[in-house]
A and B are shown apart, each in its own frame.
With several copies, the nearest count.
Chain A
Amino acid sequence: MDEVVELELPARPDVLALARLVVGAVVAGEPLFDEERIDDLRLAVSEACTNAIEAQQGRNGDDGDQRPILVRCRLASGRVEVEVRDHGGGFDQAGLSLHPPVTDPSRLHYERGLGIPLIRMLSDSVEFRRTADGTAVIMIFEPRPLPDPKPIT
C-alpha cells in the first residue's frame, strides 16, 4: 500500500491503542519494515499522540478541547512519514527542561519527559512544527533497523 491514510481521533487516551493498531497495519504491508521497525514506529507515534491528547485535555476538570487529533500516515519511496496534529496551543520546544541523566540518582525525581527523547531515538528524523493553534509532529521512518542506540544522557 502506498499513498496516504488519515485518521481523526477524539483527544482521549483510550484511542491510543487504535492509533497504534492503524499505523502498525498500514506499515505491515511494507516488506522492508520488519517487526522491530514496526514496533519502533508504533511507540514513537503513540508518544506523539499522547502528547497531542494531553495538550488538548482539560486540566481543571473542564472537558478540554474537544476537537479531534489527526494522524496522517504516508508511505512513499519505501519510507514512512507520520504526522500527528493537535490543537493544543503549541509549546516551546527549546524551552523543554533538560533532565539530569537517567543514571543520576536525582533522575528518579522525574517520572516524565521521556516521550520526545523516545520519538527522537526511534525515528530517523522528527520535526515539531507550530500550527495556528497547536503542533504538528512530523516523523520519518526508514525501513532499516536502528543503528546501535545511544542511551539518553
Chain B
Amino acid sequence: MDLRLDVTERDGWAVLAVGGEIDVATAPRLREQLITLVNDGHHRIVVDLGSVDFLDSTGLGVLVGALKRVRTHDGDLALVCDEPRILKVFEITGLTKVFAMYGSVDQAVAAD
C-alpha cells in the first residue's frame, strides 16, 4: 500500500526514487514500473532506495529481476542506498556483490 514511486531523468540515466515499504503487497507495483522503464527504452536505471523504510526478499527479487532485464539490453542498474537497515538486507544476502551500490544518486550517475 504505502509505496511511492517517482521517475526522473539524469545524465542519460532513468532515476527511480522509491519510498515506503517494499514487501509482497507493494512489490508488484515496483516490478511493473521497472518493466515499463525498460520497455520504454531506458536501459540505464538508478533505483534510489533512500526513502525505503522496509525491504523484504520479494523486493530483492524484483531488483534482481530488473538487473537481469537491463543486462539483456547491455544496460546497467545501479542502486542508491545509505540507510543501514536497508543496506544490511543486501549485505547478509550477499547481494552487495551482485549490485553496483552507491551512497547517493550523484555518485551513481557519475560512476561509469
Answer yes or no: A and B touching, Cβ < 8 Å: yes
16 pairs from A and B in contact (CB 8 Å cutoff): A16-B25, A17-B25, A35-B85, A36-B84, A47-B57, A50-B56, A53-B24, A102-B94, A103-B98, A107-B98, A113-B57, A117-B93, A121-B92, A151-B91, A152-B94, A153-B94
Contact A102 B95 (CB under 8 A): yes
Contact assessment for B21 and A151 in the assembled complex, using a CB-CB cutoff below 8 Å? no
- How far apart are the CA atoms of A54 and B23 in the complex, in Å? 13
Q: Closest residue to B23 on the A side, CB-wise?
A: A16
Q: Is A46 an interface residue (CB 8 A)?
A: yes
Residue of B nearest to A115 (CB): B57
Given contacts A108-B71, A113-B57, A151-B94, 5 further A-B contacts (CB under 8 A): A17-B25, A101-B94, A102-B93, A108-B68, A149-B91
The CA of A113 and the CA of B56, in the complex, are separated in Å by: 12
B41 at the interface (CB under 8 A from A): no
| Residues in A38-60 with C-beta less than 8 Å from chain B | 39, 42-43, 46-47, 50, 53-54
The residue on A at minimum CB distance from B95 is A102
Known A13-B24, A16-B25, A108-B67; judge A114-B98 contact (CB<8 A): no
Given contacts A102-B98, A110-B64, A111-B61, are A151 and B93 in contact (CB under 8 A)? yes
Choose from B1, B23, B61, B89 the contact partner of A112 (Cβ within 8 Å). B61
Chain A residues proximal to chain B, CB less than 8 Å: 13-14, 16-17, 20, 29, 35-36, 39, 42-43, 46-47, 50, 53-54, 101-103, 107-115, 117-118, 121-122, 146, 149, 151-153
With contacts A36-B85, A53-B24, A108-B68 known, is A46 near B56, CB below 8 A? yes
Which residues from chain A contact B56 at a C-beta distance below 8 Å? 43, 46-47, 50, 115, 118
For the complex of A and B, list the 4 residue pairs with the smallest distance between their C-beta atoms, beginning with the closest.
A151-B94, A111-B61, A13-B25, A114-B57
Closest to B2 in A: A17
Between A and B, how many residue pairs show CB distances below 8 Å?
A: 90
Given contacts A16-B24, A50-B23, A109-B68, contact A114 B93 (CB under 8 A): yes
Q: What is the interface of chain A mostly: helix, strand, loop, or mixed?
A: helix
A42, B92: Cα distance in complex, Å: 15
Chain B hits for A114, CB < 8 A: 57, 60-61, 93
Q: Are A29 and B60 in contact (CB under 8 A)?
A: no
Q: A151-B91, A152-B93 are in contact. Are A118 and B25 (CB under 8 A)?
A: no
Q: Is the CB of A111 within 8 A of B92?
A: no
From B54, B61, B62, B88, contact of A42 by CB (8 A)? B54
